[in-house]
Amino acid sequence: MAAPEDNATDKRIVIVDDDDLFRESVTENLREAGYLVVGFDRGPKFLEFMRKEQGIDLILLDWKMPEMNGIEVLRTLRKDGFEVPVIFLTVLSDQVYEEAALTTGAVDFVEKSRSFSILLKRIQLIEGGARGGAPAADTLETGPQTLGLLRLDGQRAFWRENQVDLSLTEYRIVSMLAQKANKDVSYREIYDLVHGEGFVAGAGEDGYRANVRTFIKRIRQKFRDLDDTFDRIENYPSYGYRWATGADDA
């Protein structure tokens, strides 16, 4: 395990990766960028550290590791109540892995083949948006909102007066859709809200759409866990999504 160095910034990052050379390289680059960094080569040792430590700002997590893989580590983190943002660093580029990572609660998925400058940009976007990137170009309202059966208050969402267990990123997506109720919101607008305007990720020119679909799928399921008739988030094929109001939203 690498010990954190004395540095001007108080931002603390943990990297968990069993590839010693890769972990050490990223650690040194992050330290040069002004971060305090701690490294682990196994999930269990990292989890033990987290149960004793406070003040971690971001976790970089490898997917394929002995003893516990990255998904198992992330599930344990979330089960234990840790909401620290997690970025997966992996050689697994298939979309199914990205979807699995985001569904489990990661905020981003970066291939190890990408340059450090790309990783640093994503870290900075997450820092700027507190688990979700920079805000979209048009400013969203931040005060309490009520739209029929939906109530948004203090970064918490309520449906039929039951709290919906949304992450901050998911909350911001719901807030955007609600503020633009009955208007189509493009995949790009939603993605920019999550990752920062103009950011590019995913396979192919429109690869970001898969990322947005994953978020919407998670959000819908969380509402349906409370109300199996929930149907307010509609898809506009090949364009995006809309929050459709109902008769009880008047």
pTM equals 0.54
Please state the rounded mean pLDDT for residues 133-160: 73
CATH 2.60.40.10 at 145-249, yes or no? no
What share of the chain has pLDDT > 70, as a percent?
Answer: 81
Dist. CA 97–CA 224, nearest whole Å: 24
Give yes or no for a contact between 15 and 45, defined as CB atoms under 8 angstroms apart.
Answer: no
CA distances from 129 to 85, 174, 238 (A): 11, 16, 27
pLDDT at 9: 59
Give yes or no for a contact between 38 and 49, defined as CB atoms under 8 angstroms apart.
Answer: yes
Q: Any idea where the domains of the chain sit in the sequence?
A: 12-129, 145-249
CATH 3.30.40.10 at 12-129, yes or no? no
pLDDT at 220: 94
Dist. CA 92–CA 94, nearest whole Å: 6
CA distances from 58 to 5, 20, 121, 125, 170 (A): 16, 19, 14, 12, 18
pLDDT bin (cut points 50, 70, 90) of residue 140 is: low
